[in-house]
A and B are shown apart, each in its own frame.
Chain A
Protein backbone atom coordinates (compact mmCIF):
# COMPACT_ATOMS: atom_id res chain seq x y z
CA UNK A 1 0.00 0.00 0.00
CA UNK A 2 1.20 3.50 -0.71
CA UNK A 3 2.54 6.11 1.69
CA UNK A 4 -0.45 8.26 0.87
CA UNK A 5 -2.83 5.54 2.01
CA UNK A 6 -0.86 4.92 5.20
CA UNK A 7 -0.96 8.62 6.02
CA UNK A 8 -4.47 9.56 5.00
CA UNK A 9 -6.52 6.48 5.78
CA UNK A 10 -6.27 6.65 9.61
CA UNK A 11 -7.26 10.31 9.47
CA UNK A 12 -10.26 9.40 7.35
CA UNK A 13 -11.34 6.65 9.73
CA UNK A 14 -10.97 8.92 12.75
CA UNK A 15 -12.99 11.67 11.11
CA UNK A 16 -15.77 9.70 9.43
CA UNK A 17 -15.79 6.28 11.05
CA UNK A 18 -18.22 7.06 13.87
CA UNK A 19 -20.75 8.60 11.48
CA UNK A 20 -20.51 5.55 9.24
CA UNK A 21 -21.07 3.30 12.26
CA UNK A 22 -24.20 5.17 13.27
CA UNK A 23 -25.66 5.00 9.77
CA UNK A 24 -24.81 1.30 9.53
CA UNK A 25 -26.54 0.71 12.87
CA UNK A 26 -29.73 2.30 11.60
CA UNK A 27 -29.56 0.09 8.51
CA UNK A 28 -29.00 -3.25 10.22
CA UNK A 29 -30.47 -2.59 13.67
CA UNK A 30 -27.71 -4.27 15.64
CA UNK A 31 -24.56 -2.72 17.11
CA UNK A 32 -22.27 -5.70 16.59
CA UNK A 33 -23.43 -6.22 13.04
CA UNK A 34 -23.01 -2.53 12.31
CA UNK A 35 -19.45 -2.63 13.59
CA UNK A 36 -18.68 -5.68 11.47
CA UNK A 37 -20.29 -4.02 8.48
CA UNK A 38 -18.22 -0.86 8.83
CA UNK A 39 -15.07 -2.87 9.41
CA UNK A 40 -15.66 -4.76 6.18
CA UNK A 41 -16.55 -1.62 4.26
CA UNK A 42 -13.46 0.21 5.51
CA UNK A 43 -11.28 -2.71 4.47
CA UNK A 44 -12.66 -2.43 0.94
CA UNK A 45 -12.10 1.31 1.06
CA UNK A 46 -8.49 0.85 2.15
CA UNK A 47 -7.86 -1.53 -0.74
CA UNK A 48 -9.40 0.98 -3.16
CA UNK A 49 -7.65 3.98 -1.60
CA UNK A 50 -5.05 4.47 -4.39
CA UNK A 51 -7.89 4.89 -6.89
CA UNK A 52 -9.83 7.41 -4.80
CA UNK A 53 -8.83 10.94 -5.55
CA UNK A 54 -9.85 12.68 -2.34
CA UNK A 55 -11.52 12.15 0.98
CA UNK A 56 -14.97 13.01 -0.36
CA UNK A 57 -14.67 10.16 -2.83
CA UNK A 58 -13.43 7.89 -0.07
CA UNK A 59 -16.51 8.59 2.03
CA UNK A 60 -18.78 8.02 -0.95
CA UNK A 61 -16.98 4.77 -1.66
CA UNK A 62 -17.20 3.63 1.98
CA UNK A 63 -20.87 4.54 2.13
CA UNK A 64 -21.52 2.59 -1.05
CA UNK A 65 -19.61 -0.38 0.33
CA UNK A 66 -21.72 -0.25 3.50
CA UNK A 67 -25.03 -0.08 1.67
CA UNK A 68 -24.26 -2.76 -0.88
CA UNK A 69 -22.76 -5.04 1.76
CA UNK A 70 -25.74 -4.47 4.06
CA UNK A 71 -28.21 -5.28 1.30
CA UNK A 72 -26.26 -8.40 0.37
CA UNK A 73 -26.25 -9.47 4.04
CA UNK A 74 -29.99 -8.97 4.18
CA UNK A 75 -30.43 -11.16 1.14
CA UNK A 76 -28.06 -13.83 2.32
CA UNK A 77 -29.55 -14.01 5.79
CA UNK A 78 -33.11 -13.60 4.69
CA UNK A 79 -33.63 -10.43 6.68
CA UNK A 80 -36.53 -9.31 4.63
CA UNK A 81 -39.05 -9.15 7.40
CA UNK A 82 -39.22 -7.82 10.90
CA UNK A 83 -36.19 -7.77 13.14
CA UNK A 84 -36.14 -8.17 16.89
CA UNK A 85 -37.64 -4.98 18.25
CA UNK A 86 -38.65 -5.77 21.77
CA UNK A 87 -35.87 -3.88 23.50
CA UNK A 88 -34.25 -0.50 23.13
CA UNK A 89 -30.74 -0.28 21.72
CA UNK A 90 -27.80 -0.52 24.05
CA UNK A 91 -27.09 2.56 26.08
CA UNK A 92 -30.22 4.46 25.21
CA UNK A 93 -30.78 7.43 27.49
CA UNK A 94 -33.58 7.31 30.02
CA UNK A 95 -33.89 11.09 30.08
CA UNK A 96 -36.33 11.33 27.28
CA UNK A 97 -39.27 9.33 28.45
CA UNK A 98 -41.64 10.82 25.93
CA UNK A 99 -39.25 10.28 23.14
CA UNK A 100 -38.60 6.67 23.94
CA UNK A 101 -42.04 5.47 23.01
CA UNK A 102 -41.98 7.33 19.73
CA UNK A 103 -38.46 6.19 19.06
CA UNK A 104 -39.39 2.58 19.79
CA UNK A 105 -42.37 2.77 17.47
CA UNK A 106 -40.23 4.27 14.75
CA UNK A 107 -37.59 1.64 15.33
CA UNK A 108 -40.14 -1.13 14.95
CA UNK A 109 -41.52 0.37 11.78
CA UNK A 110 -38.09 1.08 10.32
CA UNK A 111 -36.82 -2.42 10.94
CA UNK A 112 -39.96 -3.83 9.34
CA UNK A 113 -39.21 -2.09 6.06
CA UNK A 114 -37.70 -4.10 3.20
CA UNK A 115 -33.91 -3.72 3.17
CA UNK A 116 -33.59 -1.36 0.22
CA UNK A 117 -36.34 0.90 1.54
CA UNK A 118 -34.70 0.94 4.95
CA UNK A 119 -31.31 1.83 3.48
CA UNK A 120 -32.86 4.55 1.34
CA UNK A 121 -34.60 6.10 4.35
CA UNK A 122 -31.38 6.12 6.39
CA UNK A 123 -29.35 7.67 3.58
CA UNK A 124 -31.96 10.33 2.84
CA UNK A 125 -33.20 11.27 6.30
CA UNK A 126 -30.29 10.44 8.57
CA UNK A 127 -27.25 11.01 6.38
CA UNK A 128 -29.09 13.86 4.64
CA UNK A 129 -27.91 12.78 1.21
CA UNK A 130 -29.55 14.13 -1.91
CA UNK A 131 -31.43 11.74 -4.14
CA UNK A 132 -28.47 11.78 -6.51
CA UNK A 133 -26.04 10.93 -3.72
CA UNK A 134 -28.38 8.24 -2.40
CA UNK A 135 -28.61 6.70 -5.86
CA UNK A 136 -24.83 6.65 -6.07
CA UNK A 137 -24.55 5.05 -2.64
CA UNK A 138 -27.12 2.38 -3.46
CA UNK A 139 -25.95 1.82 -7.01
CA UNK A 140 -29.33 2.42 -8.55
CA UNK A 141 -31.16 5.00 -10.62
CA UNK A 142 -32.45 8.18 -9.03
CA UNK A 143 -35.97 7.16 -9.98
CA UNK A 144 -35.50 4.03 -7.91
CA UNK A 145 -34.51 6.10 -4.89
CA UNK A 146 -37.67 8.14 -5.30
CA UNK A 147 -39.85 5.04 -5.48
CA UNK A 148 -38.09 3.31 -2.58
CA UNK A 149 -38.41 6.36 -0.32
CA UNK A 150 -42.00 6.95 -1.34
CA UNK A 151 -42.93 3.36 -0.59
CA UNK A 152 -41.11 3.48 2.73
CA UNK A 153 -42.83 6.66 3.82
CA UNK A 154 -46.19 5.23 2.87
CA UNK A 155 -45.56 2.22 5.07
CA UNK A 156 -44.33 4.37 7.95
CA UNK A 157 -47.40 6.54 7.62
CA UNK A 158 -49.60 3.48 7.68
CA UNK A 159 -47.96 2.17 10.83
CA UNK A 160 -47.21 5.36 12.72
CA UNK A 161 -49.76 7.80 11.42
CA UNK A 162 -49.21 11.26 10.11
CA UNK A 163 -49.59 12.76 13.56
CA UNK A 164 -46.61 10.88 14.92
CA UNK A 165 -43.92 11.77 12.49
CA UNK A 166 -45.12 12.50 9.02
CA UNK A 167 -46.83 15.81 8.61
CA UNK A 168 -47.29 15.74 4.83
CA UNK A 169 -45.51 17.28 1.94
CA UNK A 170 -42.37 16.49 0.09
CA UNK A 171 -39.08 14.93 0.95
CA UNK A 172 -36.03 17.13 1.36
CA UNK A 173 -33.82 18.00 -1.61
Chain B
Protein backbone atom coordinates (compact mmCIF):
# COMPACT_ATOMS: atom_id res chain seq x y z
CA UNK B 1 0.00 0.00 0.00
CA UNK B 2 2.77 2.32 0.71
CA UNK B 3 4.87 2.27 -2.42
CA UNK B 4 3.83 5.80 -3.27
CA UNK B 5 4.56 7.03 0.23
CA UNK B 6 8.00 5.45 0.12
CA UNK B 7 8.73 6.87 -3.33
CA UNK B 8 7.66 10.36 -2.36
CA UNK B 9 9.79 10.25 0.77
CA UNK B 10 12.80 9.23 -1.29
CA UNK B 11 12.12 11.90 -3.92
CA UNK B 12 11.86 14.54 -1.24
CA UNK B 13 15.04 13.51 0.54
CA UNK B 14 17.04 12.97 -2.65
CA UNK B 15 16.29 16.47 -3.89
CA UNK B 16 17.93 18.13 -0.90
CA UNK B 17 21.61 18.99 -0.75
CA UNK B 18 23.48 18.80 2.54
CA UNK B 19 26.81 20.16 3.64
CA UNK B 20 29.56 17.61 3.87
CA UNK B 21 29.82 16.30 7.44
CA UNK B 22 32.86 17.71 9.18
CA UNK B 23 34.32 14.56 10.72
CA UNK B 24 37.08 16.53 12.38
CA UNK B 25 34.57 18.71 14.19
CA UNK B 26 32.61 15.65 15.29
CA UNK B 27 35.62 13.82 16.67
CA UNK B 28 36.90 16.97 18.31
CA UNK B 29 33.55 17.53 20.02
CA UNK B 30 33.43 13.87 21.04
CA UNK B 31 36.91 13.90 22.49
CA UNK B 32 36.13 17.12 24.31
CA UNK B 33 33.00 15.56 25.79
CA UNK B 34 34.97 12.58 27.05
CA UNK B 35 37.67 14.78 28.56
CA UNK B 36 35.09 17.06 30.16
CA UNK B 37 33.29 14.13 31.78
CA UNK B 38 36.51 12.64 33.08
CA UNK B 39 37.77 15.94 34.38
CA UNK B 40 34.49 16.69 36.13
CA UNK B 41 34.33 13.21 37.60
CA UNK B 42 37.91 13.34 38.76
CA UNK B 43 37.48 16.77 40.30
CA UNK B 44 34.29 15.88 42.09
CA UNK B 45 35.55 12.49 43.25
CA UNK B 46 38.61 14.17 44.66
CA UNK B 47 36.30 16.60 46.40
CA UNK B 48 34.44 13.67 47.94
CA UNK B 49 37.67 12.39 49.38
CA UNK B 50 38.63 15.79 50.68
CA UNK B 51 35.22 16.31 52.21
CA UNK B 52 35.01 12.99 53.95
CA UNK B 53 38.57 12.65 55.01
CA UNK B 54 40.68 9.56 55.33
CA UNK B 55 41.85 7.99 52.09
CA UNK B 56 43.77 4.77 51.76
CA UNK B 57 44.60 3.06 48.49
CA UNK B 58 44.34 -0.69 48.81
CA UNK B 59 44.91 -3.39 46.19
CA UNK B 60 41.33 -4.60 46.26
CA UNK B 61 38.41 -4.12 48.64
CA UNK B 62 38.68 -5.55 52.12
CA UNK B 63 36.39 -8.33 53.27
CA UNK B 64 32.88 -7.42 54.22
CA UNK B 65 32.55 -6.12 57.74
CA UNK B 66 28.94 -6.84 58.60
CA UNK B 67 27.83 -10.37 59.45
CA UNK B 68 24.70 -11.33 57.54
CA UNK B 69 21.47 -11.32 59.47
CA UNK B 70 19.06 -14.21 59.60
CA UNK B 71 17.43 -14.29 56.16
CA UNK B 72 14.05 -12.57 56.10
CA UNK B 73 13.79 -12.01 52.35
CA UNK B 74 14.45 -15.20 50.46
CA UNK B 75 16.53 -15.21 47.32
CA UNK B 76 13.62 -15.74 45.00
CA UNK B 77 12.10 -14.30 41.87
CA UNK B 78 10.18 -11.14 42.65
CA UNK B 79 8.72 -8.24 40.73
CA UNK B 80 6.47 -5.32 41.55
CA UNK B 81 3.58 -3.68 39.76
CA UNK B 82 1.70 -0.74 41.16
CA UNK B 83 1.79 -1.04 44.94
CA UNK B 84 2.13 -4.82 44.96
CA UNK B 85 5.29 -6.85 45.39
CA UNK B 86 4.90 -10.28 43.80
CA UNK B 87 6.87 -13.16 45.28
CA UNK B 88 6.75 -16.90 44.74
CA UNK B 89 4.96 -17.31 48.06
CA UNK B 90 2.37 -14.59 47.64
CA UNK B 91 1.65 -10.94 46.94
CA UNK B 92 2.41 -8.12 49.36
CA UNK B 93 0.57 -4.81 49.08
CA UNK B 94 3.14 -2.26 50.17
CA UNK B 95 0.68 0.64 50.18
CA UNK B 96 2.85 2.88 48.03
CA UNK B 97 3.65 2.84 44.32
CA UNK B 98 6.84 0.88 43.75
CA UNK B 99 8.98 2.81 41.27
CA UNK B 100 12.15 0.91 42.18
CA UNK B 101 13.24 -1.57 44.83
CA UNK B 102 16.07 -3.76 46.08
CA UNK B 103 16.27 -6.84 48.26
CA UNK B 104 18.39 -7.29 51.37
CA UNK B 105 18.53 -10.30 53.66
CA UNK B 106 16.26 -8.40 56.07
CA UNK B 107 13.54 -7.36 53.64
CA UNK B 108 12.95 -4.95 50.77
CA UNK B 109 13.75 -1.27 50.36
CA UNK B 110 11.68 0.60 47.79
CA UNK B 111 10.81 4.08 46.58
CA UNK B 112 7.83 5.70 44.95
CA UNK B 113 10.20 8.21 43.39
CA UNK B 114 9.93 10.69 46.26
CA UNK B 115 10.21 8.75 49.52
CA UNK B 116 12.13 5.62 50.45
CA UNK B 117 10.35 2.88 52.41
CA UNK B 118 11.64 -0.14 54.24
CA UNK B 119 9.61 -3.35 54.30
CA UNK B 120 10.82 -5.75 56.98
CA UNK B 121 9.12 -8.07 59.43
CA UNK B 122 5.80 -7.47 57.70
CA UNK B 123 5.82 -3.71 58.21
CA UNK B 124 6.35 -0.76 55.88
CA UNK B 125 8.26 2.20 57.30
CA UNK B 126 8.92 5.60 55.69
CA UNK B 127 12.65 6.23 56.02
CA UNK B 128 13.05 9.54 54.18
CA UNK B 129 13.26 11.29 50.83
CA UNK B 130 15.27 10.32 47.75
CA UNK B 131 16.64 12.88 45.32
CA UNK B 132 19.25 12.65 42.56
CA UNK B 133 22.61 14.20 43.26
CA UNK B 134 22.66 17.34 41.13
CA UNK B 135 23.32 17.81 38.29
CA UNK B 136 22.72 14.15 37.44
CA UNK B 137 19.48 13.59 35.58
CA UNK B 138 17.10 10.67 35.59
CA UNK B 139 15.51 8.64 38.32
CA UNK B 140 17.44 8.22 41.56
CA UNK B 141 18.83 4.80 42.35
CA UNK B 142 18.74 2.53 45.39
CA UNK B 143 21.46 -0.04 45.97
CA UNK B 144 21.15 -2.96 48.37
CA UNK B 145 23.16 -5.94 49.50
CA UNK B 146 21.10 -9.13 49.11
CA UNK B 147 23.53 -10.95 51.40
CA UNK B 148 23.62 -8.18 54.00
CA UNK B 149 21.18 -5.80 55.62
CA UNK B 150 22.28 -2.45 54.22
CA UNK B 151 20.72 -0.35 51.45
CA UNK B 152 21.73 3.12 50.26
CA UNK B 153 20.51 5.96 48.07
CA UNK B 154 21.11 9.63 47.44
CA UNK B 155 19.19 12.48 49.01
CA UNK B 156 20.29 15.61 47.23
CA UNK B 157 23.81 16.28 48.38
CA UNK B 158 24.01 13.32 50.75
CA UNK B 159 24.27 9.57 50.59
CA UNK B 160 21.87 7.86 52.97
CA UNK B 161 22.73 4.39 54.30
CA UNK B 162 20.06 2.28 56.01
CA UNK B 163 20.71 -0.84 58.05
CA UNK B 164 17.40 -2.66 57.70
CA UNK B 165 18.13 -4.92 60.63
CA UNK B 166 18.58 -2.11 63.16
CA UNK B 167 16.74 0.69 61.36
CA UNK B 168 19.79 2.93 61.78
CA UNK B 169 20.28 5.69 59.18
CA UNK B 170 23.61 7.30 58.43
CA UNK B 171 24.27 10.21 56.11
CA UNK B 172 27.43 11.09 54.19
CA UNK B 173 28.17 14.24 52.27
CA UNK B 174 28.42 13.76 48.51
CA UNK B 175 29.56 16.26 45.91
CA UNK B 176 28.13 16.26 42.37
CA UNK B 177 28.62 13.50 39.80
CA UNK B 178 29.62 10.38 41.78
CA UNK B 179 27.08 7.61 41.30
CA UNK B 180 26.17 4.75 43.60
CA UNK B 181 27.46 1.46 42.22
CA UNK B 182 26.66 -1.05 44.93
CA UNK B 183 26.75 -1.70 48.64
CA UNK B 184 28.44 -4.80 50.04
CA UNK B 185 28.32 -5.43 53.74
CA UNK B 186 28.85 -2.05 55.31
CA UNK B 187 30.75 -0.58 52.39
CA UNK B 188 29.24 1.78 49.82
CA UNK B 189 30.90 1.88 46.39
CA UNK B 190 30.73 5.10 44.39
CA UNK B 191 32.07 5.98 40.97
CA UNK B 192 32.70 8.96 38.82
CA UNK B 193 33.73 8.65 35.19
CA UNK B 194 37.25 7.56 36.04
CA UNK B 195 37.49 7.50 39.82
CA UNK B 196 35.93 5.04 42.23
CA UNK B 197 35.79 5.06 46.00
CA UNK B 198 34.64 2.86 48.83
CA UNK B 199 32.97 4.49 51.84
CA UNK B 200 32.83 2.57 55.09
CA UNK B 201 29.35 3.33 56.41
CA UNK B 202 30.42 2.52 59.94
CA UNK B 203 33.39 4.84 60.23
CA UNK B 204 32.87 7.22 57.34
CA UNK B 205 36.35 6.55 56.02
CA UNK B 206 36.94 6.62 52.28
CA UNK B 207 39.47 4.76 50.22
CA UNK B 208 40.19 4.50 46.53
CA UNK B 209 39.12 1.21 44.98
CA UNK B 210 42.19 -0.68 43.81
CA UNK B 211 44.19 0.89 41.04
CA UNK B 212 41.17 1.79 38.93
CA UNK B 213 41.97 5.47 39.02
CA UNK B 214 45.50 5.06 37.75
CA UNK B 215 44.36 2.64 35.04
CA UNK B 216 41.46 4.74 33.75
CA UNK B 217 38.99 1.95 34.47
CA UNK B 218 35.29 2.32 35.24
CA UNK B 219 33.95 0.46 38.26
CA UNK B 220 30.99 -1.77 37.39
CA UNK B 221 30.45 -4.08 40.36
CA UNK B 222 32.07 -5.49 43.48
CA UNK B 223 31.48 -8.88 45.13
CA UNK B 224 33.59 -11.10 47.34
CA UNK B 225 37.18 -10.14 46.64
CA UNK B 226 36.42 -9.35 43.01
CA UNK B 227 36.29 -5.94 41.45
CA UNK B 228 34.63 -5.70 38.06
CA UNK B 229 35.67 -2.79 35.89
CA UNK B 230 35.47 -1.76 32.27
CA UNK B 231 38.44 -0.51 30.28
CA UNK B 232 38.35 1.98 27.42
CA UNK B 233 37.68 -0.74 24.87
CA UNK B 234 34.64 -1.97 26.76
CA UNK B 235 36.37 -5.07 28.08
CA UNK B 236 35.89 -6.42 31.55
CA UNK B 237 38.80 -6.26 33.89
CA UNK B 238 38.42 -8.23 37.07
CA UNK B 239 40.43 -8.87 40.15
CA UNK B 240 39.38 -12.13 41.80
CA UNK B 241 41.76 -12.75 44.64
CA UNK B 242 43.72 -9.68 43.67
CA UNK B 243 44.56 -11.11 40.26
CA UNK B 244 43.59 -9.14 37.19
CA UNK B 245 41.93 -10.93 34.30
CA UNK B 246 41.32 -9.15 31.04
CA UNK B 247 38.30 -10.70 29.41
CA UNK B 248 38.46 -10.81 25.63
CA UNK B 249 35.30 -9.23 24.38
CA UNK B 250 33.59 -5.90 24.91
CA UNK B 251 30.53 -6.03 27.13
CA UNK B 252 27.87 -3.53 28.12
CA UNK B 253 28.26 -1.75 31.42
CA UNK B 254 25.26 -3.65 32.77
CA UNK B 255 27.48 -6.63 33.59
CA UNK B 256 27.19 -7.98 37.12
CA UNK B 257 29.02 -10.29 39.51
CA UNK B 258 27.73 -13.39 41.26
CA UNK B 259 27.54 -12.96 45.06
CA UNK B 260 30.78 -14.87 45.58
CA UNK B 261 32.51 -12.82 42.90
CA UNK B 262 33.44 -15.93 40.95
CA UNK B 263 31.30 -15.27 37.91
CA UNK B 264 30.23 -12.32 35.79
CA UNK B 265 27.49 -12.07 33.20
CA UNK B 266 26.86 -9.57 30.49
CA UNK B 267 23.53 -8.68 29.00
CA UNK B 268 21.89 -9.68 25.77
CA UNK B 269 20.21 -7.26 23.51
CA UNK B 270 19.94 -6.54 19.85
CA UNK B 271 23.07 -4.45 20.30
CA UNK B 272 25.31 -6.65 22.34
CA UNK B 273 24.91 -10.33 21.49
CA UNK B 274 24.02 -13.38 23.57
CA UNK B 275 24.22 -13.68 27.35
CA UNK B 276 27.59 -14.99 28.41
CA UNK B 277 28.76 -16.14 31.81
CA UNK B 278 32.43 -15.67 32.56
CA UNK B 279 34.25 -17.80 35.13
CA UNK B 280 36.64 -15.24 36.54
CA UNK B 281 38.90 -17.85 38.11
CA UNK B 282 39.65 -19.52 34.79
CA UNK B 283 38.70 -16.91 32.20
CA UNK B 284 36.38 -19.44 30.52
CA UNK B 285 33.07 -18.17 29.20
CA UNK B 286 29.81 -19.97 28.60
CA UNK B 287 26.90 -18.89 26.45
CA UNK B 288 23.62 -19.38 28.24
CA UNK B 289 21.03 -21.44 26.32
CA UNK B 290 18.49 -18.69 25.80
CA UNK B 291 16.58 -18.38 22.57
CA UNK B 292 15.02 -14.95 22.89
CA UNK B 293 14.88 -11.57 21.24
CA UNK B 294 16.19 -9.92 24.36
CA UNK B 295 17.30 -11.26 27.72
CA UNK B 296 18.65 -9.08 30.48
CA UNK B 297 20.32 -10.60 33.56
CA UNK B 298 19.11 -8.50 36.48
CA UNK B 299 19.74 -10.44 39.69
CA UNK B 300 21.85 -13.26 41.07
CA UNK B 301 19.72 -15.48 43.32
CA UNK B 302 22.81 -17.41 44.49
CA UNK B 303 26.29 -18.17 43.22
CA UNK B 304 24.97 -20.29 40.37
CA UNK B 305 21.47 -19.03 39.71
CA UNK B 306 20.75 -16.00 37.62
CA UNK B 307 17.40 -14.27 37.06
CA UNK B 308 16.75 -12.68 33.67
CA UNK B 309 14.05 -10.65 31.99
CA UNK B 310 13.29 -12.00 28.57
CA UNK B 311 11.26 -11.02 25.54
CA UNK B 312 10.96 -14.33 23.64
CA UNK B 313 10.23 -12.67 20.32
CA UNK B 314 9.81 -9.08 19.34
CA UNK B 315 6.04 -9.46 19.50
CA UNK B 316 5.81 -11.31 22.81
CA UNK B 317 5.05 -10.59 26.40
CA UNK B 318 7.89 -10.36 28.89
CA UNK B 319 8.97 -13.42 30.86
CA UNK B 320 11.25 -14.01 33.82
CA UNK B 321 13.80 -16.79 33.48
CA UNK B 322 16.17 -18.46 35.88
CA UNK B 323 19.42 -19.96 34.65
CA UNK B 324 21.81 -22.34 36.36
CA UNK B 325 24.98 -20.93 34.88
CA UNK B 326 27.07 -23.94 35.90
CA UNK B 327 24.91 -26.27 33.74
CA UNK B 328 24.17 -24.21 31.88
CA UNK B 329 20.40 -24.61 31.83
CA UNK B 330 17.53 -22.14 31.84
CA UNK B 331 13.82 -22.34 32.55
CA UNK B 332 10.84 -20.02 32.49
CA UNK B 333 9.97 -18.90 36.02
CA UNK B 334 7.21 -16.40 35.25
CA UNK B 335 5.66 -16.94 31.82
CA UNK B 336 3.78 -13.68 31.32
CA UNK B 337 4.58 -10.28 32.79
CA UNK B 338 2.61 -8.42 30.17
CA UNK B 339 3.63 -6.34 27.22
CA UNK B 340 5.84 -3.29 27.31
CA UNK B 341 3.85 -0.11 27.58
CA UNK B 342 4.46 3.26 26.06
CA UNK B 343 4.25 5.74 28.89
CA UNK B 344 6.45 8.41 27.37
CA UNK B 345 9.49 7.12 29.22
CA UNK B 346 9.57 3.85 27.32
CA UNK B 347 8.93 2.01 30.53
CA UNK B 348 7.20 -1.27 31.20
CA UNK B 349 4.37 -2.01 33.58
CA UNK B 350 6.50 -3.68 36.22
CA UNK B 351 9.76 -3.17 38.06
CA UNK B 352 12.46 -5.62 39.05
CA UNK B 353 14.84 -5.56 42.04
CA UNK B 354 17.48 -3.52 40.25
CA UNK B 355 17.04 -0.39 42.34
CA UNK B 356 15.88 1.70 39.41
CA UNK B 357 13.06 1.77 36.88
CA UNK B 358 13.58 -0.76 34.15
CA UNK B 359 13.84 0.24 30.52
CA UNK B 360 13.52 -2.31 27.76
CA UNK B 361 16.19 -0.90 25.49
CA UNK B 362 19.64 0.60 26.01
CA UNK B 363 19.70 4.37 26.07
CA UNK B 364 21.35 6.29 23.32
Contact = CB atoms under 8 A, between A and B. Distances in A.
Given A31-B16, A107-B12, A142-B314, A38 B21 contact: yes
Contact of B13 (A17, A23, A52): A23
B248 interface: no
B16 A136 contact: no
Given A25-B13, A61-B271, A42 B1 contact: no
Interface residues of B, number: 52
B9 interface: yes
B17 A131 contact: no
Contact of B293 (A46, A128, A132): A132
B287 interface: no
Q: Taking chain A's interface residues, is the majority helix, strand, or loop, or is none over half, making it mixed?
A: helix
Interface residues of A, number: 75
B23 A13 contact: yes
Contact of B9 (A17, A99, A126): A126
Contacts, number: 174
Nearest to B18: A21
Interface in A133-150: 135-136, 139-144, 147
Q: Taking chain B's interface residues, is the majority helix, strand, or loop, or is none over half, making it mixed?
A: loop
Contacts of A143: 315, 339-340, 342
Interface of A: 1-2, 4, 6, 9-10, 13-14, 17-18, 21-23, 25-26, 31, 34-35, 38-39, 42-44, 46-47, 50-53, 57, 60-61, 64-65, 68-69, 89-93, 96, 99, 102-103, 106-107, 110, 121-122, 125-126, 128, 131-132, 135-136, 139-144, 147, 153, 156, 164-172
Interface of B: 1-6, 8-19, 21-23, 25-27, 29-31, 33-34, 232-234, 250, 252-253, 270-273, 293, 314-315, 339-342, 346, 359-361, 363-364
